[in-house]
Amino acid sequence: MGIGNLVKNISRNQWLLFALLSAAVFMSACQPASEPSKLKTNPDASHTAEVTSATAMPRAPLTQEVYIWQRQWRPASQTALVQSQGVFQGLRILALQAHPKPNGADIWFEVAVNHAWLQADPRPKIAVIRLDGQFVHLNDEQVIRKISQVLTDWQAKGTHIAGVEIDHDSASSKLPAYRDFLKKLKAQLPADLKLSITALPAWLNSADFPALLTNIDELVLQIHSVSDPRLGLFDAAQGWQWVQQLSKISTVPYLIALPAYGSAVISTASGYKVESETPLRDQLNDPHAVEELMADPQLLQAFVHKLQSRTDAKIKGIIWFRLPLEGDKRVWPLDTLIAVAQQGKLAAKIELVISSDNDTQTTLATENKTKNQEILKPQLFQLSLINRGNIAGEIPATLSLAGQACSGYDAQNGYRVIQKNGLLVWQWRADNTAALAPTDTAPSATNMPMPQPNKDTQKHMLNPGGQKVIGWARCESLYLQGIYAP
């Protein structure tokens, strides 16, 4: 065979092979798709498909609601309702509260909510019934009757609610009796009202807890408390363990209640006590026995971010305790709560305000800028630190001011003032730490000292919206000297 014929035969064979391959591809494309059962014969392929599907369809962000826990409604309540509408999707409103009274009838307190303000708010509302955990036993018929009266009253006033939440910190040993109460209550509630309950983390270890879920529609896990003052008001690591534990147990949808408030821990002869709803400090003679704890916004913001990555489909959302009102000193400002909930920027903005009868000038801000602004007209000047940010910030250790023809000056609230190189220098007193240290005889249940870092923080930090007067000076002129960088 010659070279020319060989080339022709190869070329002819290549075209024949190409034609056969093209036909095979065409016939394969025309075949019906494989049945689902056949696709699952390959476990790896099935797993890949599930992961791809989960990645392609991420879960929607958790809903965020807020508790309204004030017993006295005032104009600030309406303001907070309006300002929070775009952030929180639901309201949980304290409606009725019961306390046991030794040797007498139980104390019932019905909150006089402003129904006009509630009706103007379009968000779903749940009425919360608070039953004190100190009840030896619940009078089922009496409690159900009281709840029915409140619901009838709200309905008559035109306030529509989506459900009822029972907040009862029952001992784990009493969960069977609590389950029986919930069964009776559920049977008497209108069919269109869902029944929610709050749950303590301690219940998760009880064999009676799963049965409690058979009579409710929804669960709220409270993971904020003071179990150990050294850990503060919220322990993120422990809280996450509780969430994971609940995800394995719960048979109903659930939400996580998070703190946006503060409490006082009081050291007594019998151990630590928490001052929250009931005032306790009036019973004390030693002011150093009181320790103020505040939930850490940055810690909670990180925890919310972690919750948003949840894998359990039963977790519905987050509920914040509680809606801040202007003048409430034991709760975050509303802008702090909004920033935490929306994963916004958290920052302090400490400013020094020099004020007189004729004028007020802000001369110090957290920006790293010189603010040398002379104030004319000799006056008695007052110096105040103000935090215009949305998170607590550290107060400056030193403030140097240039004063002309100063005839007097003084410092207060932890500062001292000295003259140095022609300047008036306000200094945070170094001996404050020693003065604030707990006494060696301070009793505790575990013989542990009160958490000194928290005490230092309360004295050195300025809360959002907080103001601290640090002194005064009588001068012809007074202005900040140099650059302040916190």
Question: How does pLDDT run across 401-424, given as a tens digit for each residue?
Answer: 999 889 999 999 999 999 998 899
Domain end point (choices 341, 374, 399): 341
* β-bridge pairing 107-110 and 90-99: antiparallel
Position 435 scores a pLDDT of 36
More confident residue, 138 or 186: 186
Is the residue at 28 inside a domain? no
Q: Are residues 300 and 368 located together in one domain of the fold? A: no
Alpha carbon separation from 418 to 379, 425, 431 (Å, rounded): 20, 5, 16
Beta-carbon contacts of residue 203 (< 8 Å; ≥ 6 apart):
172, 175, 209, 212
The band of 296, judged by pLDDT with boundaries at 50, 70 and 90, is very high
The answer to whether 83 touches 326, Cβ cutoff 8 Å, is no
pTM listed for this prediction: 0.77
Q: Give me the CATH number covering residue 243.
A: 3.20.20.80
Is the residue at 86 inside a domain? yes
Q: Are residues 427 and 446 located together in one domain of the fold? A: yes
Q: Are residues 428 and 355 located together in one domain of the fold? A: yes
Q: Are residues 188 and 82 located together in one domain of the fold? A: yes
The answer to whether 68 touches 91, Cβ cutoff 8 Å, is yes
Does residue 171 carry a pLDDT above 70?
Answer: yes
Domain that holds residue 463: 350-480
Number of structural domains in the chain: 2
Q: Are residues 319 and 412 located together in one domain of the fold? A: no
Q: Are residues 312 and 425 located together in one domain of the fold? A: no
Domain end point (choices 310, 341, 372): 341
Position 360 scores a pLDDT of 58
Does residue 445 carry a pLDDT above 80?
Answer: no
- Rounded to an integer, the average pLDDT of 453-466 is 64
Q: Are residues 114 and 152 located together in one domain of the fold? A: yes
The band of 35, judged by pLDDT with boundaries at 50, 70 and 90, is very low
Q: Are residues 362 and 241 located together in one domain of the fold? A: no
Does residue 4 carry a pLDDT above 70?
Answer: no
Does residue 27 carry a pLDDT above 50?
Answer: no
Is the residue at 468 inside a domain? yes
The band of 316, judged by pLDDT with boundaries at 50, 70 and 90, is very high
Q: Are residues 363 and 387 located together in one domain of the fold? A: yes
Q: Average per-residue pLDDT in the chain?
A: 80
Is the residue at 21 inside a domain? no
Is the residue at 118 inside a domain? yes
- 83-94 pLDDT, tens digit per residue, is 999 999 999 999
Q: Are residues 335 and 431 located together in one domain of the fold? A: no
Is the residue at 51 inside a domain? no
Q: DSSP readout, 441-475?
A: T---TTS----HHHHHHHHHEE-TT-EEEEEEEEE
Is the residue at 116 inside a domain? yes
Does residue 437 carry a pLDDT above 60?
Answer: no
Is the residue at 285 inside a domain? no
Q: Are residues 234 and 151 located together in one domain of the fold? A: yes
Position 40 scores a pLDDT of 38
Position 304 scores a pLDDT of 97
